[in-house]
Amino acid sequence: MSPAGENVSSFHRWQSEAFARYIPGMDLIIEGVPLPGLPEIISAMGVNGADFMWHLADVEASAWPHEIKDGWISGADLIAHWVPHETQFVWGVLDAFPHGPRFEVIDLPFADGNPAFWKGKPLVPQIEGAVFEMVFWDSRAVLLIGLDEEQAASVVRALPGATSLVILPVDFNATYEDNSVPLNRRGTVDALAHHGISLREGMDVVITDTELWVRATVCHRFGVWCAATIGPFHYVAD
Choosing from 164, 185, 200, the residue where a domain stops is: 164
Per-residue model confidence as pLDDT tens digits over 128-147:
999 999 999 988 889 999 99
**Which contacts qualify for 62-71: CB closer than 8 Å, 24 or more apart?**
62/87, 62/88, 62/90, 63/87, 63/88, 64/89, 70/108
Tell whether 203 and 94 lie within a shared domain. no
Cα separation of the two ends of the chain: 34
What region does 19 belong to: left with phi over 0, alpha with psi -120 to 50, or beta?
alpha
User: For the chain, what is the domain count?
Assistant: 2
Q: Is 2 exposed, middle or buried (0-12, 13-18, 19+ CB in 10 A)?
A: middle
Q: What are phi and psi of 175, to 5 degrees?
A: -60, 135
CATH code, domain carrying 208: 2.40.240
Tell whether 131 and 57 lie within a shared domain. yes
Tell whether 222 and 132 lie within a shared domain. no
Minimum mean pLDDT among 59-68, 159-168, 175-184: which range?
A: 59-68
Tell whether 23 and 128 lie within a shared domain. yes
Tell whether 31 and 124 lie within a shared domain. yes
Question: Could you give the CA distance from residue 82 to residue 141 in angstroms, rounded to a whole number?
Answer: 18
Rounded mean pLDDT of 219-238? Answer: 83
Tell whether 159 and 187 lie within a shared domain. no
Tell whether 175 and 150 lie within a shared domain. no
142 domain-assigned = yes
What lies within 8 Å, CB to CB, of 1 at 6+ separation is none
Tell whether 158 and 48 lie within a shared domain. yes
Kind and range of the H or E run holding 20: helix 8-22
Tell whether 27 and 105 lie within a shared domain. yes
Residue 218 near residue 191 (C-beta atoms within 8 A): no
Tell whether 30 and 140 lie within a shared domain. yes
1 domain-assigned = no
Tell whether 40 and 127 lie within a shared domain. yes
Domain of residue 217, residue span:
167-235
What lies within 8 Å, CB to CB, of 109 at 6+ separation is 55, 57, 58, 93, 95, 125, 126, 127, 133
pLDDT at 127 over 50: yes
Q: How confident is the model at residue 67 (pLDDT cuts 50, 70, 90)?
A: low
